[in-house]
Amino acid sequence: METAETILITGGNAGLGLEMVRALCKESIPYNIIIGSRAREKGEEAIAKIQKEIPQTRSTLSVVQIDVASDASIEAAVEYVTKTYGKLDVLINNAGANFDGAIQAGELTLREGWNKSWDTNVTGAQVTTSLFLPLLLKAAQPRLLFITSGTSPLVDTERMDAQYAALNTSPDAGWPKPSKMNPTDAYRSSKTGLNMMMRQWYRILKNDGVKVFAVSPGFLATGLAGIGPETLKKIGAIEPSAGGNFVKDVVQGKRDADEGKAINVNGIQPW
């Protein structure tokens, strides 16, 4: 009898990560879903929430404390997965953060905000992948996912349609520039860097049978930017569940023909 696939979702206790857990738990296929959470208690709260919502799920849920900005935390998470499951079928590098608002509010210096953006969104995913790779290589059909952003394509910085005008419009001359409602400079740049990192992993693992993707879940009404879901919906954001369902489809192999690419629900996202 084939054992259930083991899936680790970093940042799985809230937002898009929790939507991934929810989507997978609704499937008839059983999974061992590991919710990665910086605070263990928040991961446990997420499990209780899902078990209450979907009591009929065939999947098992567990939580592991993992802070992708801490090597020691990642190493401890690897030890837990090794001892508990012995392999990892799917690693979803979902943990991410937007610090642009904190920079504008003066809560972080420019250097602090940019360094935290890249440390969380890029370096954290790089180190997490590197340390979990031996467990991925023990799986029969391993998948490695990096959650990117629809704001990351370089080509789209020239778009001025309704969806992109607020991001790409040039401000009036003078300094300092006025703040904007949805600042994304550091976040957007880090996700562009993440796309290149994914391409490097695709090259490195091409002969190891690991299917690698950058997954762009869409403009979702989550709490990522600290703006608030309702405000985000007013400017076009969609329900987070749509992103969770899309990632679930990638996990289940429905986009395997597009491995090595940045993908969204409509196809291949441009670079």
Amino acid present at 203? R
Asked if omega into 183 is within 30° of 0 (cis), the reply is no
- Which helix (DSSP H) or strand (DSSP E) does residue 267 occupy? strand 267-268
Q: Is the dihedral of CA 184, 189, 193, 196 positive or negative?
A: positive
The model carries a pTM of: 0.93
Quick one: CA torsion of 6, 76, 9, 223, rounded to 10 degrees? Answer: 160
Task: For residue 9, list its beta bridge partners.
Answer: 35, 92
pLDDT score, position 164: 82
Catalytic annotation, pick one of 116, 191, 248, 261:
191
Give the separation between CA 216 and CA 241, rounded to whole angstroms: 14
Give the separation between CA 151 and CA 163, rounded to whole angstroms: 10
Amino acid present at 252? Q
Domain that holds residue 205: 5-268
* Catalytic residue status for 116: no
Domain total in the chain: 1
Q: Is the dihedral of CA 217, 218, 222, 225 positive or negative?
A: positive
Amino acid present at 165? A
- 3-state SS assignment for residue 192: helix
**Residue 61 token pair:** 């849920």
CATH number where 127 lies: 3.40.50.720
| Sequence-separated (6 or more) residues with CB below 8 Å from residue 116 | 69, 97, 99, 108
How many C-beta atoms lie closer than 10 Å to residue 166's C-beta?
A: 13
* Catalytic residue status for 187: yes
In the chain, which residues have pLDDT < 70?
Answer: 1-2, 180-182, 220-221, 223-238
Catalytic annotation, pick one of 37, 149, 152, 216:
149
**Residue 219 token pair:** 């403009």
Give the separation between CA 270 and CA 150, rounded to whole angstroms: 9
* Catalytic residue status for 149: yes
Radius of gyration of the chain from Cα atoms?
A: 18
